[in-house]
Amino acid sequence: MHDTISVDPEALRADVRDKYKDVATNPQGDFHFHTGRPLAALLGYDRAVVDALPDRAVESFAGVGNPHSVRPLAAGERVVDLGSGAGFDCFIAAQAVGTAGAVVGVDMTPEMLAKSRETAAELGLDNVEFREGILEELPVEDGWADAVISNGVINLVADKAAVFAQAYRVLRPGGAIQFADIANGKPLPEQAVCSIDLWTGCVGGGKPVGDWCGLLENAGFSDISVGPAIDAFGGSGGEKNARAFDVSAHVFLATKPE
């Protein structure tokens, strides 16, 4: 499967930074997607774990599924979170891997990085680090990670093949990629695929489930499995667009062969 790049990657990154700056600094704002504690409950995160986190660790959460649900992270594992935002999934991962493990979150939006770093300091976590970078050129060494996680992010990247190639590079043989992202059940018209507004609206950059699996396969991953459809946008401002293109979220799991 050949994945074409239909929007200018740098223009898209600039718009994404602009939009997610607001999610970091004004989390109670009006967005086209659910956020924070209501979203974590909708997506089935462990209530006790979420309740134990302070508001600033949860309020800017903007994922579309629960990547921890398909493969629990084990104590001692090294984890990379692609597009860590304000750090919610990294804080959940940090508890799971414990002090013998390590979590690296990568994001490109300065306000998200500042917020996640301040929260990690407030929580006194020294097994979590947030690095500035783009997913197309991950600032992580080859073969470092046991697991790569991601939540609602790869749809926002123009060159998805580059992201999966980078995920493959940073994983050790036998390591897992587990990510939640959006899939469209109906083909998107050409003008939607070329509209940056629809990409930042979490519609333009989605892929049919089969295309996500093709991207994983092309990058070298095996044992690919796909979780059930999640209605991540129901009741949000983005519901109309999501329904128009039959958009739902799924959690994907795959392995880098030994």
Ligand X SMILES: C[S@@+](CC[C@H](N)C(=O)[O-])C[C@H]1O[C@@H](n2cnc3c(N)ncnc32)[C@H](O)[C@@H]1O
Q: Which of 36, 65, 83, 238 binds ligand X (CB under 6 A)?
A: 83
- Give the H/E segment covering residue 112: helix 110-123
**Residues 245, 164: Cα–Cα separation, whole Å:** 24
Token couple for 32: 């086209």
N-to-C CA span, the chain: 23
Tell me if 40 sits within 8 A of 69, measured CB to CB. Answer: no
Kind of pairing between the strands at 102-107 and 128-132: parallel
In terms of CB distance, is 14 or 75 closer to ligand X?
A: 14
Question: Does the footprint of ligand X cover residue 114 (CB under 6 A)?
Answer: no
Kind of pairing between the strands at 247-255 and 222-226: antiparallel
Q: Which of 57, 79, 92, 135 binds ligand X (CB under 6 A)?
A: 135
**Residues 210, 221: Cα–Cα separation, whole Å:** 14
In terms of CB distance, is 122 or 223 closer to ligand X?
A: 122
Question: Does the footprint of ligand X cover residue 109 (CB under 6 A)?
Answer: yes
Q: How many residues bind ligand X (CB under 6 A)?
A: 22
To ligand X, the closest distance from the beta carbon of 173 in angstroms equals 25
Kind of pairing between the strands at 145-151 and 171-184: parallel
In terms of CB distance, is 39 or 213 closer to ligand X?
A: 39
Q: Which of 34, 36, 40, 107 binds ligand X (CB under 6 A)?
A: 107
To ligand X, the closest distance from the beta carbon of 131 in angstroms equals 10
Residues 137-176 that bind ligand X (CB under 6 A): 151-153, 156-157
Site residues (vs ligand X, CB under 6 A): 13, 16, 20, 61-63, 83-85, 88-89, 107-109, 112, 134-135, 151-153, 156-157
